[in-house]
Homo-oligomer: A and B are copies of this chain.
Amino acid sequence: MASRPTELPNTHAGKPMLEVLKGKRCDPVPMWMMRQAGRYLPEYRQLRQDKGSFLNLVSDPEAAAAITLQPLERFPELDAAILFSDILIVPFAIGQNLTFITGEGPRLTPTLLDSALDELTGYPARLEPIYETVRKVRQRLADDKTLIGFAGSPWTVATYMVAGEGSRDQAESRRLAYADPDRFGAIIDRIEAVTLDYLSNQVEAGAEALQLFDSWAGNLSPVQFERWVVAPTARIVAALRERHPGVPLIGFPKGAGGKIAAYARETGVSAIGLDETVDPQWAAKELPTDLPVQGNLDPLALVAGGEALDSAVRVILDAFADRPHIFNLGHGILQDTPVEHVGELIALVKGGR
């Protein structure tokens, strides 16, 4: 097992992560890790071996709930659980076939290069097991922990639906968006509608905060970024705020670089997730002082451990010391991360500045 840091009293009552998302500062800062329920954990690999494919696990509420809770059982200092699922569940619900090929990543068929959007007739029932997972996790989660639901952003999900897989620079979708903005807009609209219901239903089932993953926001020109990232995100944020006032939504526009302040301002997200390439000191100046930020340790620094980890953590904690901050990685935890390094990270973050 990992080394455990000394337990520290939390100076804020209730759920520290939700407090921060409301705009309060907490010391020590709350933390969780993107993909914290995943392959770096031996207990996950074991369950995966027993239960079969990723899609089987996601569609099995009992297994998915157990996996969602695994990281908190090993590391009780973590402040949040994030639903064990995948952003491609939405295209699966819309009607594409979803397979995960070992070593190659996910595949969606037929792609929207090969077929028309209206041939995907949709099976919202495919999302029901996810809501059941949320309910199960919420029942079992300790009172001070926050349950995060999530979805991919319409843009990022569209890149997979169009190309059928992750691609180096999302050229297929960017080309389609230039060549036929009406057709591409219809794809975005469809994803947006399903995503809105999907997130809303997660809240109904017990999710207390939401994150919108825009993993492929980075390669867009500013004009396309406004139209395909900012505008749909703003509409989702507004609609969710109306349906579920007070439920925070974290936007995570990975790779958005210099466009993060505009993204935060124009989408109205409750908080912004920063990827590992963002300089925290720059971001602290660039973003409004009351905007909660989440991030942004380089997952490779966590793999490295030692001095590289220590100094990277301190830079982040120092830069965000004066604002609401949730500690996280800048991207998902890597499969080859030594589990004991996670214990070291928690000690650094929870040990305070």
Contacts and interface: CB of A to CB of B under 8 A. Distances in A.
Interface of A: 168, 171, 174-175, 178-179, 218-225, 255-262, 276-283, 286, 298, 300-301, 303-304, 308, 311-312, 315, 330
Decide if the interface of chain A is mainly helix, strand, loop or mixed: helix
Nearest to A319: B222
Given A168-B168, A258-B286, A222 B279 contact: yes
Contact of A221 (B174, B260, B277): B277
Contact of A315 (B171, B223, B257): B223
A280 to B, nearest CB: 7
Nearest to A260: B258
24 contacts: A168-B168, A171-B300, A175-B300, A175-B304, A178-B300, A218-B218, A218-B277, A219-B277, A222-B277, A222-B278, A223-B308, A223-B311, A223-B315, A224-B298, A225-B279, A257-B257, A257-B258, A257-B259, A258-B258, A258-B260, A258-B278, A258-B282, A262-B279, A262-B282
Contacts of A283: 258
Given A300-B174, A300-B178, A222 B257 contact: no
A304 B258 contact: no
A308 B218 CA distance: 19
A304 B178 contact: yes
A20 to B, nearest CB: 22
B303 A279 contact: no
A224 B218 CA distance: 19
A312 B226 CA distance: 13
